[in-house]
Amino acid sequence: MRVVTIPEPDDFDAWRDAARDLAAASVPPDDVVWQVGDVPTDLFAGESNTRALPGAAPAFGVPRAFLDLARSAILSREPERFALLYTLLTRLRREPKLMEDRADRLVRRLEEMAKAVRRDIHKMRAFLRFREVAEEGGSRYVAWFEPEHHIVRANAAFFVNRFASMRWSILTPELSLHWDGKALAQGPGATRGDAPEGDPTEEVWKTYYASIFNPARLKVGAMLKEMPRKYWKNMPETALVPELLAGAQAREAQMIDTARTAAPSPKGTNSMAAWQALREEALGCTRCPLYAPATQTVFGEGPIDAEMMIVGEQPGDQEDLAGRPFVGPAGQVFDRAMAAAEVDRTRVYVTNAVKHFKFEPRGKRRIHAKPGTGEIEACRWWIGQELALVRPRMTVAMGATAARSLFGRTMTISRERGRVLDLPDGGAAWITVHPSYLLRLPDKVQAEEEFARFVEDLRAAAKVVA
């Protein structure tokens, strides 16, 4: 019996190297015992050794589908995962098309394990809540999570990219992750008592959550399927759920009575209250360092029932001082183009991908600086909430920064421009240039041609709505 030691429970590379050597030496799966660290799994197993195996056969290839499956399944908490994957690997030598057989019991079992891992990764991203903690040198945001599988390290890149400008810590029972804005460090496991209980921001968030809760659309079964009760204890808003559920029927009846007697309102006062709570919260936003030198948060404006939302890059110098989007030179070009496209700005919700002005000081002037990926990602939460409240039929992204904010990835304007696109979370989108691009064109003829194209983009997007 041969013992193979995997240093960490989620170490795919170590398993792959060992499995490759064992398979090349034609070692049967029943002759291998897999263990994590120094914890023995078989009292009768022999010495651990997978190197320099005699009689090694030539290396063989495996389908990409197997590697993708193994990278996920290896994160499962199932103790037999290493042995099951090695068994599948050895069978692939004899049955090259095995991965295509969805009826095979081994393939199906490993796919179910991988699916459970992917679900756990999604739940961590959806239900992890950071709480602000004051410490020397500024604030740190700390979150507690109890994963079902070994997903913490595999999920680290998501949180680094999403909250690159924040200092944060994620505590779990097995290990902890700490990001200082530059490097990621790993620490030992923690307990629920090591995480903070709450912060002042939670009260604003609870107000917002209660405001957008719609009893008429309540489906308890669907809600529990997406947000199981075991995650409730770590999320501030779930403390409100029992009360909101208990009063849902009464609130629904009240909404119906109000709708019968009051003047019609497409989104109602509930959405307006939620938007006001969201705006108040944004005014104190410290999600990225841009808040410090900026004068103020420049939030979106326009009707909450707007059928079209237009997203720009970030506030400029004049917007930063006025506290309103698109009032400076680019805003004047925007207004002129809207008028030429016969689109009423007062019926459009206008906002920016980044809510604070990023600039470089040059004497008494403040020169616009392009937002970085971390700053765009830090502000994507605000855009997501604005989209959820306004629910526009068409969202226009003006410029690459706005497009990245809406789609979560780099979008090439020249390739995507001129057609309707589907947003990741639903809804239609149209990509065009930013008005500031038109101001930078030195050639007058080219500037006029590009302005006409910009007008046509706005007109075409408006036609889709109409």
Residues 245 and 135 placed together within one structural domain of the fold: no
Tokens of 403: 């497009």
Residues 94 and 229 placed together within one structural domain of the fold: no
- Range of 171's domain? 128-194
Q: Which residue has the tokens 């019968």?
A: 260
Residues 204 and 187 placed together within one structural domain of the fold: no
What does the pLDDT look like over 206-234, one tens digit per residue?
Answer: 565 565 565 555 565 665 666 676 666 66
Residues 351 and 425 placed together within one structural domain of the fold: yes
* Number of alpha carbons in the 13 Å side-chain half-sphere of residue 454: 25
Alpha-carbon span 429 to 409, nearest angstrom? 14
Within a domain: 120: no
- Domain boundary among the residues 171, 194, 217 is at 194
| Torsional sign, CA 77, 80, 86, 89 | negative
Average pLDDT score over the chain? 85
Residue 450, Cβ density class (10 Å: 0-12 exposed, 13-18 middle, ≥19 buried): middle
Within a domain: 262: no
Residues 415 and 291 placed together within one structural domain of the fold: yes
Residues 296 and 445 placed together within one structural domain of the fold: yes
Residue 175: per-residue pLDDT: 94
Instruction: Give me the torsion for CA of 112, 113, 118, 121, rounded to 10°.
Output: 150
Alpha-carbon span 52 to 90, nearest angstrom? 19
Per-residue confidence of the chain (466 residues) as pLDDT tens digits?
Answer: 899 999 999 999 999 999 999 998 999 999 999 999 876 554 444 555 544 454 444 566 889 999 999 999 999 999 999 999 999 999 998 899 999 988 899 999 999 999 999 999 998 998 888 888 888 778 888 988 999 999 999 999 999 998 998 999 999 999 999 999 999 999 999 998 888 776 555 555 556 556 556 555 556 566 566 667 666 666 666 666 666 666 655 655 555 455 444 444 444 557 788 898 899 889 988 889 999 999 999 999 999 999 999 999 999 999 999 999 999 999 999 999 999 999 999 999 999 999 999 999 988 899 999 999 999 999 999 999 999 999 999 999 999 999 999 999 999 999 999 999 999 888 899 999 999 999 999 999 999 999 999 999 999 999 998 8
CATH number of the domain bearing residue 424: 3.40.470.10
Within a domain: 134: yes
What does the pLDDT look like over 71-102, one tens digit per residue?
Answer: 999 999 999 999 999 999 999 988 999 999 88
Within a domain: 190: yes
Find out whether 354 and 371 touch, Cβ atoms under 8 Å.
yes
Q: What is the pTM of this model?
A: 0.49
- Domain boundary among the residues 228, 257, 286 is at 257
Residues 211 and 234 placed together within one structural domain of the fold: yes
Residue 207: per-residue pLDDT: 62
Q: What are the residues facing 359 on neighbouring strands?
A: 368
Question: Helices in 366-426 by DSSP H: which ranges?
Answer: 373-390, 400-407, 413-416
Residue 259: per-residue pLDDT: 45
Residues 292 and 234 placed together within one structural domain of the fold: no
Find out whether 144 and 195 touch, Cβ atoms under 8 Å.
yes
Closest CA to 209 of 140, 311, 123, 129: 129
Residues 285 and 417 placed together within one structural domain of the fold: yes
Within a domain: 119: no
Within a domain: 117: no
Residues 175 and 101 placed together within one structural domain of the fold: no
317-323's contacts with Cβ under 8 Å and 24+ in sequence apart are 317/357, 317/359, 317/366, 317/368, 319/357, 320/294, 320/295, 320/296, 320/356, 320/357, 320/366, 321/295, 323/295, 323/296, 323/297, 323/298
Within a domain: 55: yes
Residues 289 and 430 placed together within one structural domain of the fold: yes
Residue 232: per-residue pLDDT: 63
Domain count of the fold of the chain: 4
Alpha-carbon span 233 to 145, nearest angstrom? 10
Residues 238 and 175 placed together within one structural domain of the fold: no
